[in-house]
A and B are shown apart, each in its own frame.
Chain A
Amino acid sequence: DVVMTQSPLSLPVTLGQPASISCRSSQSLVNSDRNTYLSWFHQRPGQSPRRLIYKVTERDSGVPDRFSGSGSGTDFTLKISRVEAEDVGVYYCMQGTHWPWTFGQGTKVEIK
């Protein structure tokens, strides 16, 4: 299985400051159709996950533009340009190129 490794696992952030989460895969996520199936999810306590980003850089409808995704191959990053209070929770990356699709361990974002 493709192992997705996120870092850091815990991220204390200051409101209004940027934040960045790294996600590395044990294999290239470039699919035979030339797409790279790497997505990002945000889960608040007691809620279901919400997709933020898909195919590395595509932002979902309604997702604030302070969220952005980047990367290629095996190295990916989720950036929040200015953290807001509603951004707390756990962030997961997920690869959909190789079955079984797999998630990272999660990064817990909290306000300092």
Chain B
Amino acid sequence: EVQLLESGGGLVQPGGSLRLSCAASGFTFSSFGMGWVRQAPGKGLEWVSFIYGDGSATFYADSVKGRFTISRDNSKKMLYLQMDSLRAEDTAVFHCTTGSSLRSGPEYWGQGTLVTVSS
């Protein structure tokens, strides 16, 4: 059974940093692209970033480019999102996602971790 367990969310001041982690199990981690999708409170879904299975390529939404960094450790089956220069508008639940082809939409979602950016 595929499981994705996010951690690292919390309350942070504007301009601060946070690192999200996602522990994956139940599938061949290095064979799957991984991504982060966020959902602001009461709002819709937004792709933030994704990374190839071998880590050779990364993609970012314009809203986070230059501030967020996605990475993975295939030996530990872990996905990360380093978030710097956080803004109030980054407040959201961040979901770790994966699937055989993320272009086709994530088949698997974690339960999400809440990031709140506020002073």
Contact = CB atoms under 8 A, between A and B. Distances in A.
Interface in A91-105: 92, 94, 96-97, 99-105
Interface string A62-91: 000000000000000000000000000000
Contacts of B45: 41, 49, 92, 94, 103, 106
Interface of A: 1, 31, 35, 37, 39-41, 48-51, 54-55, 60, 92, 94, 96-97, 99-106
Interface in B68-119: 95, 99, 101-107, 109-112
A92 B44 contact: yes
Interface residues of B, number: 20
Candidate in B59, B101, B104, B105 with the most chain A CB atoms within 10 angstroms: B105
Contacts of B101: 96
A96 B104 CA distance: 6
Given A100-B59, A102-B47, A103-B44, A48 B105 contact: no
A105 B44 contact: yes
A28 to B, nearest CB: 15
Contacts, number: 56
Nearest to A47: B111
Contacts of A103: 44-47
17 contacts: A39-B105, A48-B95, A48-B110, A54-B104, A55-B104, A92-B44, A92-B45, A96-B103, A97-B103, A100-B61, A101-B102, A102-B47, A103-B44, A103-B47, A104-B44, A106-B44, A106-B45
A51 B106 contact: yes
A37 B103 contact: yes
B44 A41 contact: no
A23 to B, nearest CB: 13
A35 to B, nearest CB: 8
